[in-house]
Amino acid sequence: YPTVSDSDVLLKSILETGYSAALRPQEIRHLKIEDIDFAGRKLFIERSKGVKDRIVPIGDTALRWIKTYITEVRPTYTCDSSERTVYLAIKAKQRFRHRGIAEFVRFRLKKHGYPTVSLHQLRASAATHMVESGMDISYVQRILGHTALRTTQTYVQIDQVALKAKLASVHPRSQFETRRHKQ
């Protein structure tokens, strides 16, 4: 089996966390170890945009990668034992600078030959996939931490063909027409 570098574990953990919880890059950067509730499968996002706190669910895959990173990689790169930020820059051995996580992700993806994706694109994709999978947009709004539904709608890019199919399957008139044709 190929060995996975510390940088790759860090990358995978950041990507899984960002996508699973639809986080802003700065929310990933400021996430602290005590903000993670492994048993409850949720994250406490402190003082995010608009200086608002919120709690968001996070998936098992992301939690496994976070745990792997925290237990196997992070201890090697911690200079200050009082540092509680989850993600640390490997070379600097301290918390990432303002745009450091975005630069790290872009560099590692490029190194492996993947198309670069921004953490904001990952957040928008997560929101879109939640809605496409049937989640009510008001729930997505709460997960993203948006005050206005209009802001959430700009994140969600629904394919028009999929939207028409979904509408046809759930609209009361469509269901009535389907039952009438079966009789």
Which residue in 52, 120, 164, 171 is the catalytic one? 120
* Whether 155 is catalytic: yes
Catalytic hit among 47, 52, 146, 150: 146
Please identify which residue in the block is written with the tokens 């051995």: 93
Please pick, among 12, 29, 30, 123, the residue that the annotation labels catalytic.
Answer: 123
Q: Which residue do the tokens 């996580």 mark? A: 101
108 is an active site residue: no
Half-sphere exposure of 95 (CA within 13 A, CB side): 15
- DSSP, collapsed to helix, strand or coil, labels residue 114 as coil
Beta bridge partners of 85: 32
The active-site residue, picked from 24, 42, 64, 106, is 24
Active-site position among 49, 52, 111, 171 = 49
Q: Which helix (H) or strand (E) holds 94?
A: strand 94-95
Q: What are phi and psi of 116, to 5 degrees?
A: -75, 140
Does the annotation count 24 as an active-site position? Answer: yes
The catalytically annotated residue of 19, 69, 87, 155 is 155
Burial class (CB in 10 A: 0-12, 13-18, 19+), 27: buried
Can you tell me the distance from the alpha carbon of 34 to that of 29, in angstroms, rounded to the nearest whole number?
14
Q: What is the spatial distance between Cα 27 and Cα 96, in angstroms, rounded to a whole number?
A: 12
**Catalytic site includes residue 114:** no
Provide the annotated active-site residues.
24, 49, 120, 123, 146, 155
